[in-house]
């Protein structure tokens, strides 16, 4: 299949007459072993524009960025800067050409000042020593030029993550970047923080900087981007003017099929009911941990999905960790099938058929240097004990079964985990726990930072598991997602449970009203 065969309409692009692109990538191909990560992909970046790079997890966005920034060497194709051919053999070579990147996870030094971070490695000197006054002055001028009221002498670690990201952008600007790549910069920001970031991006656009914007938030793409390039399965689908492309058209281009999965899932979930007859599979009675989450009660029945809703820092994750034994409770007790249990460690929970997928897949889930197969079988091997290896035939059967069932790409058990996209890494982690055949599955932000196609697949999987009798605790910052999947809703605020109700005709506004109403009640009690 050729690139044009993928979506012929994607080539209908308004002509661009702004002269030579500041960056042009033509026919870029990169292969990792048997996996073709990029197949003849092209990208044009013009000065003074925000260009969105769109596609599902695994589409090739990160690989294309790493080719442009010198992290990966391209197998074929060429890169030109202002019309001149360049070969980027290292990130330093890319930076020397005026290309800077700010990643989702801020890569700065929190115990240095803002100015020290901005000028790190380029500090002005006088008589052989760092000229602190000049450094602070230069950093302050750069921040002011971006409209940022940040004290250059303040410690970076004292600022929230949103401010740290703005400092990282200011550092990139200070090295006179012609191209600024922002990789998921808003994933950890609230609406006000994202709006401030967009103000800075607009200033940079006016100054002639070409900005590459990678985001899974479609509304944000339509708010800030001028053009977009869409990738799918390592291939170029097309380039579009944002204002001339509807969101539905964009989604169809990204996933290559009609986006009916989520609507169908809404109908299917609405038609099912959990069986609350008999005793709960898991029951928490006054469980709590000092400094973590106040004591709470919770009952979970076979085939039921309990959605945990709440704002960032409300105690959602702390609740999940207590249920799994990742943290030890100070008070209360847990019952599994009416039998009192004390989980001194996650191993005890796993032995009782309880599984937990952490929100921090990078630190607590993914083992990047192991293969997909090894990552997938870690929990099962741990439950058997390391002196009882899983038979090879069983390994092969399980891994192939779950790669197919969860549509993990690439479908290669020997692929290194670190080379998979975030969405496919998340699927491998889900497979890890499903292989243990749990009766209770606790999912903390299982769809964070993944594209809408993978998100729909994971949501469908949760609904299917519940329909087959598995009990699920589902945590997500996206209230629409929680409401779509849950039979019962638990609302958290300030690290305590403030409400529990059946999920019958509950809207996002209703949940926000519960949270806001609790806040108002607290304010009234203080007055």
pLDDT per position as a tens digit, 172-223: 877 778 999 998 888 767 777 788 889 989 989 998 999 999 987 788 899 9
**Cis peptide, bond prior to residue 304, ω within 30 of zero:** no
Q: Within its chain, how far is the Cα of 500 from the centroid?
A: 28
- Rounded-to-integer distance, Cα 307 and Cα 443, Å: 10
Q: What's the pLDDT at 9?
A: 34
- pLDDT tens-digit profile of 149-169? 899 999 998 888 778 888 888
**pLDDT over 50 (residue 10):** no
Q: What's the pLDDT at 147?
A: 84
Q: What's the pLDDT at 254?
A: 80
Q: What's the pLDDT at 11?
A: 35
Higher pLDDT, 270 or 48: 48
Sorted by sequence, the CB contacts under 8 Å of residue 305 that are 6+ apart come out as: 274, 462, 463, 466, 471, 472, 473, 474, 485, 486, 487, 488
pTM of the entire predicted model: 0.57
**pLDDT over 80 (residue 509):** yes
- Produce one character per residue of 140-175: b if its CB has 16 or more CB atoms within 10 Å, e if not: bebbeebebebebeeebeebeebbbbbbbbbbbbbe
Average pLDDT over residues 485-494: 92
Count the residues in the chain.
Answer: 527
**pLDDT over 90 (residue 28):** yes
- pLDDT tens-digit profile of 330-341? 999 999 999 998
**pLDDT over 50 (residue 8):** no
- Residue 11 is given by DSSP the state G
191-206 vs 161-174: helix axis angle to the nearest 10? 10
Domains of the chain (ranges plus CATH)?
Answer: 1-98+185-190+213-257 (3.40.50.300), 262-526 (3.40.50.300)
Average pLDDT over residues 401-422: 88
Q: Which two tokens stand for residue 483?
A: 């409401």
- Rounded-to-integer distance, Cα 100 and Cα 11, Å: 29
- Rounded-to-integer distance, Cα 180 and Cα 205, Å: 10
Q: Which two tokens stand for residue 359?
A: 């929100």
- pLDDT band at residue 76 using 50, 70 and 90 as cut-offs: very high
The sign of the torsion formed by the CA atoms of 321, 325, 328, 333 equals positive
Contacts 24+ apart (CB under 8 A), 8-17: 9/238, 9/249, 10/230, 10/237, 10/238, 10/239, 10/240, 10/253, 11/238, 13/238, 13/239, 13/240, 13/241, 14/241, 14/244, 16/44, 16/46, 16/227
- pLDDT band at residue 276 using 50, 70 and 90 as cut-offs: low
Average pLDDT over residues 484-502: 93
Neighbours of 477 (CB within 10 A): 16
Residue 287's H or E segment, with its range, is strand 282-289
- Rounded-to-integer distance, Cα 451 and Cα 305, Å: 23
What percentage of the chain reaches a pLDDT higher than 70?
Answer: 88
289 and 322 in contact (C-beta within 8 Å)? yes
Q: What is the DSSP string of 341-399?
A: E--SSHHHHHHTTEEEE-S-HHHHT--TTSBHHHHHHHHHHHHH-TTSPPPHHHHHHHH
**pLDDT over 60 (residue 389):** yes
């Amino acid at each position: 299949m050729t690139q044009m065969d993928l979506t012929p309409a994607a080539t209908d692009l308004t002509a661009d007459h702004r002269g030579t692109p500041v960056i042009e990538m033509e026919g870029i191909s990169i292969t990792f072993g048997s996996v073709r990560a990029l197949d003849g992909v092209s990208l044009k970046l013009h000065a003074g524009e925000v260009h969105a790079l769109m596609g599902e997890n695994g589409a090739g966005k990160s690989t294309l960025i790493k080719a442009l920034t010198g992290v990966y060497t391209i197998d074929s194709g060429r890169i030109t800067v202002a019309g001149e051919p360049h070969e980027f053999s290292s990130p330093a070579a890319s930076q020397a050409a005026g290309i800077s990147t700010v990643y989702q996870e801020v890569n700065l030094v929190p115990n240095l000042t803002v100015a020290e971070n901005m000028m790190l490695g380029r500090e002005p000197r006088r008589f052989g020593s760092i000229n602190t006054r000049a450094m602070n002055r230069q950093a302050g001028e750069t921040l002011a030029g971006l409209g940022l009221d940040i004290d250059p002498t303040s410690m970076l670690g004292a600022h929230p993550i949103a401010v740290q990201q703005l400092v990282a952008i200011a550092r990139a600007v200070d090295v006179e970047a012609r191209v600024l790549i922002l990789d998921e910069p808003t994933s950890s920001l609230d609406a006000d923080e994202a709006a401030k970031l967009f103000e800075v991006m607009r200033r940079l656009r006016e100054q002639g900087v070409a900005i590459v914007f990678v985001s899974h938030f479609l509304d944000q793409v339509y708010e800030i981007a001028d053009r977009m390039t869409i990738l799918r399965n390592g291939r170029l689908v097309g380039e579009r003017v944002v204002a001339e492309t509807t969101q539905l058209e964009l989604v169809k281009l990204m996933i290559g099929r009609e986006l009916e999965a989520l609507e169908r899932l809404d109908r299917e979930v609405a038609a099912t009911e959990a069986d609350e007859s008999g005793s709960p599979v898991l029951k928490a009675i006054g469980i709590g941990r000092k400094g973590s989450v106040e004591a709470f009660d919770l009952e979970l029945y076979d085939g039921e999905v309990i959605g945990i809703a709440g704002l960032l820092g409300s105690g959602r994750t702390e609740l999940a960790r207590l249920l799994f034994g990742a943290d030890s409770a100070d008070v209360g007790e847990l019952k599994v099938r009416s039998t009192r249990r004390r989980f001194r460690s996650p191993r005890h929970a796993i032995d009782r058929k309880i599984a937990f997928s952490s929100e921090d897949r990078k630190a607590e889930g993914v083992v990047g240097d192991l293969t997909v197969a090894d990552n997938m079988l870690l929990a099962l091997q741990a439950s058997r004990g390391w002196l009882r290896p899983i038979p090879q035939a069983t390994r092969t059967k399980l891994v192939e079964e779950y790669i197919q069932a969860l549509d993990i790409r690439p479908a290669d058990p020997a692929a290194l985990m670190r080379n998979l996209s975030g969405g496919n890494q998340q699927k491998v982690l889900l497979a890890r726990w499903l292989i243990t055949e749990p009766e209770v599955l606790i999912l903390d932000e299982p769809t964070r930072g993944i594209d809408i196609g993978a998100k729909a697949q994971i949501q469908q999987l949760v609904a299917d598991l519940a329909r087959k009798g598995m009990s699920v605790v589902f945590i997500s910052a996206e209230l629409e997602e929680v409401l779509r999947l849950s039979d019962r809703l638990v609302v958290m605020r300030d690290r305590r449970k403030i409400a529990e109700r059946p999920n019958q005709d509950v809207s996002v506004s209703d949940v926000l009203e519960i949270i806001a109403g609790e806040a108002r009640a607290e304010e009234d009690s203080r007055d």
